[in-house]
Amino acid sequence: MSDGALNPAALLATLAESGVDFVVVGALAVGVYADVRATGDVDVMVPVDDEANKRALQRALEKMDAVRLPATQGGIDQGVGDPYPMLMFRTRHGKLDVLYRPDGSDSYLKVKQRSVSTTIAGQQVAVAGKSDLVRMKLAAGRTDDLRDVANLTASEHGQPRQIVVSMMLRPGVEHEWARELAAARVAYFDSSSRVWIAKGEYLQIEATRSDLTDQQIDQWAHSLADRLRGAEVVADGEIDIELGEA
């Protein structure tokens, strides 16, 4: 096993030589379109129900002496029956994350059709299209993801926009807990954002950004709502989004 240093060239070459069908996503893919930030892993998306491809991926993992990482070592423990698992491996060429359907992504077939063929670290690979990467990054919503979106959409920067989002709370939810949970997530989007409970039944969010289009703001708001529904904070149904000048 190596010392853990990432070697994208060797990792991507092993996947390709083993016949794995994959699309590069994550920070490595962002670097094709915008400023490259340091990354400690290679992220690839693969098809869900392709058994031959799963066997090819297994061959590649064996060649790289891959060991799957549990949550205690920086991986993710999957729920039983998860149809779209995210698998993290330590390999002789560095860390590899295998995703079957990243947050915010379309089906593998559509992502592959919209991908671009380019060279990364000397290896010809398919890289997710810019619009697909933006959707994935907005859905993930972490600080580095939003920084990547800012780089990907740098040519679209404009005047600061005020964003106000309103969501119906789930009946019986504890208000302060709901507010704190939402505020922690929204802080990634805008560190100066405000989150409060209005009229005892609405979660209200106020934030400002200057680097996103109306469509991208809408994608972020709906991805946030999906996460809060999953945490049983907000109810099913439409959310209200208002945009104005900051």
What are the tens digits of pLDDT across the range 132-151?
Answer: 999 999 988 888 888 888 88
Contact indicator for 183, 242 with CB cutoff of 8 Å = no
pLDDT value at 194 more than 60 = yes
By percentage, how much of the chain surpasses pLDDT 70? Answer: 89
Measured CA to CA in angstroms, residue 99 lies from 13, 110, 238 at distances of 18, 15, 29
In a domain, 28, yes or no: yes
What are the backbone dihedrals phi and psi of residue 209, each rounded to the nearest 5 degrees, phi first? -145, 155
- Residues 68-122 have pLDDT tens digits of 987 555 445 554 445 567 899 999 999 999 999 888 888 999 999 999 999 888 8
**238 and 127 assigned to the same domain:** no
Name residue 191's amino acid: S
Contact indicator for 101, 108 with CB cutoff of 8 Å = yes
Residue 4's pLDDT band (cuts 50, 70, 90): low
What pLDDT shows up at residue 117? 92
What pLDDT shows up at residue 20? 97
CATH of the domain at 184: 3.30.70.100
DSSP assignment string, 38-83: --SEEEEE--SS-HHHHHHHHHHHHHTT-EEPPGGGT--PPPTT-S
In a domain, 82, yes or no: yes
DSSP 79: P
What six digits make up the tokens of 58?
């297994």
Q: Which of 122, 154, 186 is the last residue of a domain?
A: 154
**110 and 221 assigned to the same domain:** no
How far is it, in rounded angstroms, from Cα 119 to Cα 99?
21
How far is it, in rounded angstroms, from Cα 87 to Cα 49?
15
What does the pLDDT average to over 149-154? 79
Higher pLDDT, 186 or 143: 186
Residue 128's pLDDT band (cuts 50, 70, 90): very high
Structural domain boundaries enclosing 78: 8-154
Number of domains forming the structure of the chain: 2
What six digits make up the tokens of 214?
């109306």
How far is it, in rounded angstroms, from Cα 133 to Cα 29?
8
